[in-house]
């Protein structure tokens, strides 16, 4: 069977670092760049080979650095430009690569470009952002349309000084750039992209990449909630008319000139056919995208984005199968696989079970899923330790810091009114899926503040689970989640013709308890069996499995014959000499 074209970024395993919560080196309670440098040997030993560093740039931090006021400077509490240079060389010296976060759909309102733009209607940079006059409704000033921003309220912010509104899909402190203006694009490429690529950065994870091109007629969204003027407008935010043209230009001017990787975050784009144009090699746009279908399966719905929804394993499988299609040779694209990031709660709490009885097996089972699929896997910091959500006993109003959660709670209280049941259900949603769960400090050891910091107070509270769940304890335990990740990462490289380049074949698509798939390459195949429940589940070896199955790895000792125990994961390969085709 033909294999897809090998590339370093296809064989990469990405490890995502959220600077605020990774490691604090100077005792101020906030993670920093020297902290990251101090852990590079840990990451090398884990077996990952690309580090994605979330925004460390200069920023007033309304959205944890996704509001950048200078693309070439560093948020002072995180360190200096020299620290960034040391980070890049420290990663390269260890034979790894490093990618940064590119946030150019919007800037901070404190960025010099926006300061100039808002200074007067005649400013040469007026057109660098999207300004509109008010609409007059019954003699009163109103925004140009009824779109609700991602973080609540209108997408339009009134500016007293020049008496116009500006557009912001996210917070008012994150004004959207006007990509229609070629000068803007040129400035973005030079200052935010090529500046770093010239310094040796190996690529970017690209924030909200499909929001650059706007639907310039700004039509009103359908009214789904008459109790508020601001209606969900997700479908208008993404994939505007000139998007593919802009991405081709960015490829030409930036990524295509280097041997780097480009990974675009693509919300609101669930269909394989819509994703393919972004990632198909011949289109020369992006190498892969980050989709949201798995990640948003268990929450959302209208205004209340953290409202808990039941999810099904069938849907989980269908989504997986769809994404895997991007990597097959005839499509010549690629995909990412992830279960966690800084915008998601902890996967073991969401998709498996964080009860101490099942947590270790559950986290290893999810790791088996993550690391045996084609596409580039992204491991989020702490996922390799089996870190869990914040406990339900923690006060949502006190311990949760994310502006998205804060906005959700405001909406929830407004909508629930005196309905206590609704309020409780809404809080339950935040306890399961708020972005804050992925943002608590990394648990390095069992000393105070989990070895993350020497400060009395850390920017977010350390999860109470740190005595049991921490890197130092897991280092010493051959059966830990960490040890299992190391094993799997080694096997992923050793059997790359199957796990990275093999063709995905889903079995038992209707089964709601287990996931079964084969990864196939020529005469070689691997069978992956995953039990997502706390009950025993029987299984059969699919008839399409070639050869004699031999157990390669399991997350529980002493595999039984045809039964998977709670949260058990197994990988079988065919016995005998390996004949490696293609890659
Ligand atoms: C992306 C980021 C998220 C941020 C948003 C606005 O979705 O991952 O953290 O809030 O973009 O930049
Ligand atoms: Ca610090």
Q: Could you read off the pLDDT tens digit of each residue along the chain, which spans 583 residues? A: 455 789 999 999 999 999 999 999 999 999 999 999 999 999 999 999 999 999 999 999 999 999 999 999 999 999 999 999 999 999 999 999 999 999 999 999 999 999 999 999 999 999 999 999 999 999 999 999 999 999 989 999 999 999 999 999 999 999 999 999 999 999 999 999 999 999 999 999 999 999 999 999 999 999 998 888 999 998 899 999 999 999 999 999 999 999 999 999 999 999 899 999 999 999 999 999 999 999 999 998 667 889 999 999 999 999 999 999 999 988 899 999 999 999 999 999 999 999 999 999 999 999 999 999 999 999 999 999 999 999 999 999 999 999 999 999 999 999 999 999 999 999 999 999 999 999 999 999 999 999 999 999 999 999 999 999 999 999 999 999 999 999 999 999 999 999 999 999 999 999 999 999 999 999 999 999 999 999 999 999 999 999 999 999 999 998 778 999 999 999 999 988 666 654 4
Residue 373's CATH number: 3.20.20.80
Shared domain for 545 and 574, answered yes or no, is yes
Q: Are residues 236 and 99 in the same domain?
A: yes
* Residue 289: closest CA among 246, 330, 338, 328: 338
Residues 434, 453, single domain; the answer is no
Task: Extract the tokens encoding 338.
Answer: 């992830």
Q: Into how many domains does the chain fold?
A: 4
Q: Name the residue of 343, 344, 402 to mutate for ligand 1: max ligand atoms within 8 A of Cβ.
A: 343
Residues 461 and 524 in one domain: no
Ligand 1, atom 4, residue with closest C-alpha: 66
Asked whether the beta carbons of 448 and 401 are under 8 A apart, the reply is no
- For ligand 1, is residue 206 a contact (CB within 6 Å)? no
Q: CB of 402 closer than 6 A to ligand 1?
A: no
Alpha-carbon distance of 372 to 299, in angstroms, equals 26
Task: Tell how far the Cα of 329 is from the centroid of ligand 2, in angstroms.
Answer: 46
Backbone angles phi, psi at 137, to 5 degrees: -120, 120
Strand-pair partners of 176: 106
Catalytic site includes residue 83: no
**196 and 275 in one domain?**
yes
pTM of the model: 0.97
pLDDT in tens, 318-366: 999 999 999 998 889 999 999 999 999 999 999 999 999 999 999 999 9
Q: Are 505 and 544 in contact (CB under 8 A)?
A: yes
Helices and strands in the chain, H and E counts:
19, 22
Alpha-carbon span 102 to 260, nearest angstrom = 13
Phi-psi region of 20 (alpha: psi -120 to 50; beta: other; left: phi over 0): alpha
Containing structural domain, residue 553: 503-581
Same-domain pairing of 230 and 311: yes
Q: 407 is written with which tokens?
A: 């906005």
Q: Which ligand is nearest to the CA of 77?
A: 2
Which helix (H) or strand (E) segment holds residue 187: the answer is helix 182-188
421-437 per-position pLDDT tens digit: 999 999 999 999 999 99
510 among known catalytic residues = no
Contacts of 543-552 spanning 24+ positions with Cβ under 8 A: 544/505, 544/507, 544/518, 545/518, 545/572, 545/574, 546/520, 546/574, 547/523, 547/574, 547/575, 547/576, 548/574, 548/575, 548/576, 549/573, 549/574, 549/575, 550/574, 550/575, 552/491, 552/495, 552/526
Q: Does 173 reside within a domain?
A: no
């Amino acid at each position: 069977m033909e294999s897809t074209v090998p590339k370093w970024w296809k064989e990469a395993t990405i490890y995502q670092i959220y600077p605020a919560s990774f490691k604090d080196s100077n005792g101020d309670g906030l993670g920093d760049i020297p902290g990251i440098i101090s852990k590079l040997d840990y990451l090398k030993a884990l077996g990952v080979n690309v580090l994605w560093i979330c925004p460390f740039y200069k920023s007033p931090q309304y959205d944890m650095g996704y509001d950048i006021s200078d693309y070439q400077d560093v948020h002072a509490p995180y360190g200096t430009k020299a620290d960034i240079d040391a980070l890049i060389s420290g990663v390269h010296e260890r034979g790894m690569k490093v990618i940064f976060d590119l946030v150019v759909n919007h800037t901070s309102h404190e960025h010099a470009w926006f300061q100039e733009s808002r200074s007067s209607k005649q400013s040469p940079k007026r057109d660098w952002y999207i300004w509109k006059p008010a609409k007059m409704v019954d003699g009163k000033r109103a925004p140009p349309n009824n779109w609700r921003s991602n973080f609540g309220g209108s997408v339009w912010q009134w500016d007293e000084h020049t008496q116009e509104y500006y557009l912001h899909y996210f917070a008012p402190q994150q004004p959207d750039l006007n990509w229609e203006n070629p000068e803007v694009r040129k400035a973005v490429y030079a200052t935010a992209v090529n500046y770093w690529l010239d310094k040796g950065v190996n690529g970017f994870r690209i924030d909200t990449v499909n929001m650059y091109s706007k639907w310039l007629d700004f039509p009103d969204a359908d009214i789904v909630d008459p109790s508020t003027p601001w209606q969900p407008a997700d479908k208008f935010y993404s994939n505007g008319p000139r998007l593919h043209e802009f991405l081709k230009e960015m490829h030409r001017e930036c990524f295509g000139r280097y041997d780097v990787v480009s990974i675009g975050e693509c919300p609101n784009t669930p269909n394989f056919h819509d994703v393919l144009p972004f990632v198909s090699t011949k289109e020369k746009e992006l190498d892969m995208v980050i989709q949201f279908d798995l990640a948003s399966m268990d929450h959302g719905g209208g205004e209340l984005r953290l409202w808990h929804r039941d999810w099904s394993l069938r849907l989980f499988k269908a989504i997986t199968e769809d994404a895997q299609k991007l990597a097959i040779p005839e499509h010549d694209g690629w995909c990412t696989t992830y279960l966690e990031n800084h915008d998601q709660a902890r996967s073991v709490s969401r998709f498996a079970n964080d009860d101490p009885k099942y947590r270790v097996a559950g986290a290893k089972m999810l790791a088996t899923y993550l690391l045996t699929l084609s596409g580039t896997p992204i491991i989020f910091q702490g996922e390799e330790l089996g870190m869990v959500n914040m406990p339900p006993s923690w006060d949502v109003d006190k311990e949760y810091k994310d502006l998205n959660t804060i906005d959700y709670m405001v909406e929830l209280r407004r909508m629930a009114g005196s309905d206590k049941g609704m309020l409780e259900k809404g809080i339950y949603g935040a306890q399961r899926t708020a972005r804050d769960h992925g943002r608590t400090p990394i648990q390095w050891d069992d000393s105070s503040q989990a070895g993350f910091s020497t400060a009395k107070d850390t920017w977010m509270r350390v999860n109470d689970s740190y005595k049991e769940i921490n890197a130092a304890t897991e280092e010493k335990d051959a059966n830990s989640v960490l040890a299992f990740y190391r094993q799997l990462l080694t096997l992923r490289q050793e059997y790359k013709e199957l796990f990275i380049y093999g063709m995905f074949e889903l079995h038992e698509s209707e089964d709601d308890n287990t996931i079964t798939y084969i990864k196939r390459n020529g005469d070689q195949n691997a069978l992956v069996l995953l039990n997502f429940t706390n009950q025993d589940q029987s299984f059969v070896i699919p008839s399409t499995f070639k050869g004699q199955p031999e157990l390669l790895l399991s997350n529980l000792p002493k595999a039984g014959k045809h039964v998977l125990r709670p949260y058990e994961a197994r990988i079988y390969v065919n016995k005998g000499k390996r004949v490696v085709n293609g890659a």
